[in-house]
Structure 1
Amino acid sequence: MSGEERRGKIIQALKNSDKAVSATTLAKEFDVSRQVIVQDVALLRANGKNIFSTNRGYLIQEDEETTRVFKVQHEDDEVEKELTTIVDLGGTVEDVFVYHKVYGVLRAEMNIKSRMDIRNYMEEIRSGKSSLLKNVTSGYHYHTVRAERVEILDMIQEELQKKGLLAKLQDYEPVDFWGQNNYNE
């Protein structure tokens, strides 16, 4: 196993543990010396990983995920394209909501993070039991999208724009739906 592979596995071991993991435990797991683990952790820290030392071992602080709201508009037959674009680039579609001039904000949880989730969602919609929320506002709707980094959200926004799925905010729409100012222009 290369040092890079081992460092990747160290990160995973720390993320998967609900308590501190000692350098000795990691050394045994990866069949290296404790000093190699200490050096690996130093390299990981130098590369921006939030690894903390405690008297019981190492802990990792997960990178905080970030969200952005995208206003989109498309036809019913483009729903799958929209959702696939987002999840294939590493985003999770947390919700869908519309801003109705009479009723205000109407929101529904989605939590779509994989193609399987998309497939299940599309089956429910196609079954005829429910209609798309976007249809109450002439196709305009919003998604809160979560990703590990802002750069991923930027890529998603760029790709949605290329595919002609993004829409501009109108004068009557509130600028700040959920107390955040991170909307596409």
Structure 2
Amino acid sequence: MSGETRRKQIVQLLSQSEKPIPGVTLAEKFQVSRQVIVQDIALIRANGVDIFSTNRGYLVHQQTQQVSRVFKVMHEDEDVEDELSTIVDYGGQVKDVFVYHKVYGVVRAELNIKSRIDIVNYLKEIRSGKSSLLKNVTSGYHYHTILAETETLLDLIQEKLQEKGYLAKLQDYEPVDFWSKAE
């Protein structure tokens, strides 16, 4: 069996298991040394699979499935904390911020804001630097990709942002219908 085939089977076994699988067990199953399994795990991780090492063995981190929606918003600088807090308080994660610039096209920055602590740290970073918020290159208009566990939570976030007056109307020149729930 090739190393690549063995690593695929290791990922499959770990993904299907609800409890950790010891390295010794994997070594016996594939008739290789435990050191080969350790090296395989390192290569699997390098290829992006999230594997935990525990005192009882290896386990693939099972991420919960999330849905996403893009919201176009507009507000003043002093409303950033309230906007982001509204999103996280109702179960959302702010994946990114981006603007659609008529000359430069889409300019995007990853945020990965999941909590109020993340918001505090983000705002502290913005205030300590010489840069301004990305929204300011387009007169306040910007977009966020929001992740949540259900479409219902995204609907609730959309409703709350609308109530606060943060949602903005799409213009004819914008290339995509960001309101669409289907991707």
Q: With structure 1 as the length reference, what TM-score do the two structures score?
A: 0.64
TM-superposed deviation, 1:19: 2.8
Tell me what 2:86 maps to. 85
Tell me what 2:132 maps to. 131
Matches within 5 A, 1:4-43: 19-21=17-19
Amino acid of the structure 1 residue aligned with 2:181:
N
TM-superposed deviation, 1:182: 2.9
- Judging changes above 3 Å, is the alpha-carbon distance between structure 1 residues 73 and 91 closer, same or farther for their aligned structure 2 residues? same
**Pairing 1:173–2:174 present:** yes
Give the total of aligned pairs.
129
Distance 1:82 1:76 in 2: 10
- Structure 2 residue ranges without an equivalent (≥5): 1-14, 20-61
Matches within 5 A, 1:129-168: 129-168=130-169
Distance 2:174 2:68 in 1: 19
1:182 match: secondary structure: coil
Amino acid of the structure 1 residue aligned with 2:71:
F
Distance 2:122 2:114 in 1: 11
Residues 43-97 of structure 1, C-alpha deviations (whole Å, 9 max, x = no match) = xxxxxxxxxxxxxxxxxx7652100000000000000000000000010000000
- Judging changes above 3 Å, is the alpha-carbon distance between structure 1 residues 115 and 18 closer, same or farther for their aligned structure 2 residues? farther
* Contact 1:124 1:130 survives alignment (8 Å): no
1:87 match: secondary structure: helix
* Contact 1:87 1:93 survives alignment (8 Å): yes
Distance 1:90 1:106 in 2: 26
Which portions of structure 1, spanning 4 or more consecutive aligned residues, are displaced by more than 4 angstroms?
A: none
2:166 match: secondary structure: coil
Distance 1:181 1:162 in 2: 19
Amino acid of the structure 2 residue aligned with 1:66:
V
- Structure 1 residue ranges without an equivalent (≥5): 1-16, 22-60
Pairwise CA RMSD? 2.6
TM-superposed deviation, 1:130: 2.0
Quote the sequence identity (%): 70
Tell me what 1:105 maps to. 106
